[in-house]
Amino acid sequence: AAGVIQSPRHLIKEKRETATLKCYPIPRHDTVYWYQQGPGQDPQFLISFYEKMQSDKGSIPDRFSAQQFSDYHSELNMSSLELGDSALYFCASSSPGRTNTEAFFGQGTRLTVV
Amino acid sequence: GQQVMQIPQYQHVQEGEDFTTYCNSSTTLSNIQWYKQRPGGHPVFLIQLVKSGEVKKQKRLTFQFGEAKKNSSLHITATQTTDVGTYFCSQAQKLVFGQGTRLTINP
């Protein structure tokens, strides 16, 4: 079965550069969530989208923006990267319209800012 | 926003011992989900509870939703090394995790 696909899996950027992380949800899933997990920390919710509209906002820095496109894939854009942005970024998808709202997580994108 | 709190933050047990983590909310939850994240892995869905007082079992794991739908627990009987990881609870629609309970096991 198709899972949540995140790309790239690894990314190395320099300070002040920009980065774009992509998330392809499971087919027919209309909700996408983004998380940031620093070393030794728990996943911090950043933002979520339902039917291409932002549904919830967490601790997402102003330097970051995200959107969900017409094909339901989502992109997390990160600008003016800082060393502290180095983390594992997870994307998850679900379909709240159904009874079972289980969320499926991707393998994550490991971003290293140097 | 509504967020659940988990205790304990860390738990270290001997293999074969039982383990319990608790999830508490100050407000009534419409449902609760539990996830497990193994070291180096991504969170994986375990179960969803919806009904007041609901109890569900998955082999050695027992999940319970409180009568008032403000708390939940996950109990593991006779832990095994494969149970190592961090356990998170969350309300389904928000999917905002608390700090989680990190379980380590001494073989």
Residue A85: strand, helix, or coil? helix
Is A45 within 8 Å of B100 when comparing Cβ atoms?
Answer: no
Q: Note the residue count of chain A.
A: 114
pLDDT per position as a tens digit, A65-86: 999 999 999 999 999 999 999 9
**Residues of chain A above pLDDT 90, percent:** 88
Q: How far is B34 from chain A (nearest CA, A)?
A: 10
- Each domain of chain B, given as residue ranges in start order, spans 5-97
Give the mean pLDDT of A15-37.
96
What pLDDT does residue A15 have?
98
Tokens 């994240």 -> residue: B37
Residue A95: predicted pLDDT = 86
Contact residues, chain A, for B91 at CB < 8 Å: none
Closest by alpha carbon to A108, among B7, B40, B93?
B40
- CA-CA distance, A78 to B12, in Å (whole number)? 37
CA distances from B30 to B2, B8, B20, B101 (A): 11, 23, 22, 22
Inter-residue contact A90 to A42 (CB < 8 Å): no
Q: Confidence band (pLDDT; 50, 70, 90) for A1? A: low
pLDDT tens digits, one per residue of B75-100: 999 999 999 999 999 987 778 887 89
Contact A58, A49 (CB under 8 A): no
Helix, coil or strand: residue A14: coil
A67-95 in b/e form (b: 16+ CB < 10 A) is ebeeebbbbbebeebeeebbbbbbbbbbb
Q: Is B21 on the interface with A (CB under 8 A)?
A: no
Q: What is the pLDDT of residue A97?
A: 64
Give the model confidence (pLDDT) of A50-65 as tens digits.
Answer: 999 999 999 899 999 9
Residue A57: CB atoms within 10 A of its CB come to 12
Nearest residue to A79 via CA among A7, A36, A17, A15: A17
Point out the residue among A35, A42, A58 whose CB comes nearest to the CB of B99.
A42
Please give the domain boundaries of chain A with CATH numbers for all domains.
Answer: 5-113 (2.60.40.10)
pLDDT at B105 over 80: yes
Residue A7 pLDDT > 60: yes
What was the pLDDT predicted at B72? Answer: 97
Judged by DSSP in three states, A109 sits in strand
pLDDT 10s digits, B9-61? 999 999 999 999 999 999 999 999 999 999 999 999 999 999 999 999 999 99
Q: Does domain B5-97 have CATH number 1.10.3710.10?
A: no
The pLDDT, as a whole number, for residue A100 is: 57
